[in-house]
Amino acid sequence: MSSALVWFRRDLRDFDHAALYHALKHHDQVFCAFVFDTEILDCLPGRCDRRVEFIHASVVELDGVLRARGSGLIVRSGPAREVIPALAASLGVNAVYVNRDYEPAAIERDTEVAERLRVLDIGFADFKDQVIFEKSEVLTQGNSPFSVFTPYKRAWLKALTPFHLKSYPVEKYMARLAPWPAGEVMPGLAELGFEGTNLRELGIAPGMGGGRRLFDDFLKRIARYKAKRDFPAQKGVSYLSVHLRFGTVSIRELARSAFELGGEGAETWLSELIWRDFYFQILWHHPHVVNASFRPEYDQVRWDDKPEWFAAWREGRTGYPIVDAAMRQILHSGFMHNRLRMIVASFLTKDLGIDWRRGEAFFAEHLNDFDLAANNGGWQWAASTGCDAQPWFRIFNPVTQSEKFDPDGAFIRRYLPELAKVPAKFIHAPWTMPPIDQQLAGCVIGKDYPAPIVDHAQARERTLARFGVVKGNPDEA
């Protein structure tokens, strides 16, 4: 009998799973494992992390599903590069199967694991699973990677066939799952050294079940996605990003549903899924973006070092309500609406003149759905240092963005209760309230809510000068 080990990572589901399908199809017996990789966990700044709790709960659910099939999930804690080869050897498997990861650190880890397995005469096979197209599957006519999204999207859609959206028929081979090894115990969150968070209180349901409920709910609203997606006070987006991040949903099922439904809502959402593929292929072809600008000339930009400004941005006390409300949202929930991500990133880099890498690192620490490729791509887009980025001389005005996307101030009031009684005409720029109105609203600027830490018009001029060093006069651009 031949046997294999499927190493689950960011693919915590038992359906439409590339590595699981191939392992089951080609071996008589298949074991399943997950490793709480201490090389990753030990780098986290605290022991209270929603992502770890989300992963743990999803792993527990996956284990339960596999046990119902007479198998189970072998769960370990330790350096994955050591744990997986040791586990594979102890189980006596012929090969280890994984779904590919495109982050530089993960590629380095998997290369080492493959080599350790080779020394043990155990095979290593990896598969595309978390994207529709990867690496060099979508290239320009000149056979080079795209660096601009719109032509990439056209080529992506042109290359798409029903085969790319087809689910892997895992169910067909489930009888080959190996019995759960005797003596295996699922470690609790506390045993891993972590505490519970407010995940459940926030209504975030982990695992395949949580992903399924969200997707079913979104399908009822997807037709209105294009019209509502930019308004953070409305229920307009899918809220599936954390499930996509940890693979509790299938990208093929999501893209297939959007493609088959059609209409402007579904087409706009499919475009967002294509952006996700785009950033993964950027990371694959240009791994230097992890530490530097996609376009090297932008590393000449001199950012300001203003610790007090960065602290004000980080803590939601810049004096610009839409920025502060967004930052309070991420601190409270680990979630930030995509439109708000663009606004706060633009504010940090273009109004405060602070290095985008500092904001990228803050998001990496706090976002439930943190994904290196998308986070890096989004921050470089906002900072105008990346591929297909917002032109450096186009600078978001936080007040007009607020007026446009939170017109009634509903989102602002939700996260800034100190502004609850501020009249609608002042909610986006409360410092413009006359003193009598401040008294009536119970919100004295500089006392109950901060005055703006920068003047946007002046900040804009500083940004034009900052980037002018690299690009010359914006009027010539």
381 classed as catalytic: no
Which residues on adjacent β-strands are paired with residue 123? 95
Q: Quote the Cα angle for 445-450-454, to 5°.
A: 115
* Number of neighbours of residue 215 by Cβ within 10 angstroms: 19
284 classed as catalytic: no
Active-site residue, from 7, 275, 381, 392: 275
Q: Yes or no: say if 319 and 451 are a contact pair by the CB < 8 Å rule.
A: yes
Q: Yes or no: say if 126 and 152 are a contact pair by the CB < 8 Å rule.
A: no
Q: How far apart are CA 11 and CA 154, in angstroms?
A: 28
Q: Please, what's the b/e burial string for 128-158 (b: 16 or more CB within 10 A of its CB; e: otherwise)?
A: bbbbbbbeeebbeeeeebbbebeebbebbee
156 classed as catalytic: no
303 classed as catalytic: yes
Active-site residue, from 7, 284, 379, 381: 379
DSSP 144: S
The two structure tokens encoding residue 458: 């002046």
Strands (DSSP E) contained in 372-452 are: none
Long-range CB contacts (< 8 A, 24+ apart) of 166-172? 166/252, 166/256, 167/15, 167/16, 167/250, 167/252, 167/253, 167/256, 168/16, 168/17, 168/18, 168/20, 168/21, 169/21, 170/14, 170/15, 170/16, 170/17, 170/20, 170/21, 170/24, 171/15
Q: Is 56 left (phi over 0), alpha (psi -120 to 50) or beta?
A: alpha
338 classed as catalytic: yes
Residue 54's SS3 state is helix
Active-site residue, from 134, 303, 403, 431: 303
7 classed as catalytic: no
Q: How far apart are CA 126 and CA 129, in angstroms?
A: 9
Q: Among residues 462, 457, 459, 435, which one has the least CA distance to residue 446?
A: 435
The two structure tokens encoding residue 221: 């609203």
Which residues on adjacent β-strands are paired with residue 445? 449
Contacts of 47 (CB under 8 A, 6+ apart): 193, 194, 195
SS3 of 304-320: the string is CCCHHHHHHHHHCCCCC
Q: Among residues 414, 446, 445, which one has the least CA distance to residue 322?
A: 414
Active-site residue, from 112, 272, 365, 403: 272
CA distances from 347 to 45, 243, 356, 418, 460 (A): 25, 28, 10, 22, 10
Active-site residue, from 7, 156, 284, 356: 356
CA atoms lying within 13 Å on the CB side of residue 11:
27
Q: Which residue has tokens 């003047």?
A: 455
Cα 123 to chain centroid, rounded = 31
**Catalytic positions, written as ranges:** 272, 275, 303, 338, 356, 379
